[in-house]
Amino acid sequence: MTSNTLRLSLLAASIIAVAACNKGAASNNTVTSVTTTTTGNSTAATDPTASAESAAPASIAHDASVATVDSKGAMTMVRKGSGEWTCMPDNPVTPGPDPMCFDANAAKWVNAWVHHQTPPEGVVGVIYMLEGGTDASNSDPYATKPTADNDWVNTGPHIMVVGSKEILAGHPSGAKPDTSVPYVMWAGTPYAHLMIPVAAAK
């Protein structure tokens, strides 16, 4: 996961992308160019589609919509997909690679989180981050930087399962988790979800 301040803008734009795709708002499948105004991951800046697709298995990413967001939170649809998945390339202002792909159910969970609302019950979603992510607080869904008591953690390649209280049972949920095994992030909040580490992408 990325720093939450940047991620809020990224995921808020993602929700817009999902809505646009589901309504068929885009009139064509690609845009002719993408301008990145920040520095960082050159792959994402020069080839956002390749970066975005690296977040999930090819069977999902190949047909997913791809959207980018600039430093001001403005979203650009790079490719309109044929399914209900949306992928975002690496955010170039974060220190590590953090592209993500998520399904329509996960978009509803993200929308609730971004707007400080209760996520819909029984709407289970999946978010792929097979390139891993940079740091985030394991206890505060809205932390913007590490402090002495907000349990900052580092994650590698992982899958997130959101929107299910039942799936959390039996998994560790402490403030200082072992991120090499499945664990509950943001335990005790409405946004608790299961983090599932996976092997690094080849």
Q: What is the pLDDT of residues 88-126, one digit of tens each?
A: 898 776 667 789 899 999 989 988 887 889 999 889 999
Decide which of 32, 66, 90 is a domain's last residue. 90
Mean pLDDT of 34-43: 38
How does DSSP classify residue 117?
A: -
Residue 180: partners with Cβ closer than 8 Å, 6 or more residues away: 197
* Residue 100 domain-assigned (yes or no): no
User: How does residue 74 score in pLDDT terms, banded at 50, 70 and 90?
Assistant: low
Residue 100: partners with Cβ closer than 8 Å, 6 or more residues away: 14, 55, 87, 88, 127, 128, 129, 133
* Residue 202 domain-assigned (yes or no): no
Domain of residue 40 covers: 4-90
Residues 118 and 185 in one domain: yes
H or E element that contains 17: helix 4-22
Domain tally, the chain: 2
Considering the entire predicted model, what is its pTM? 0.73
Q: What is the pLDDT of residues 146-198, one digit of tens each?
A: 777 778 777 889 999 999 999 999 999 988 888 889 999 899 999 999 999 99
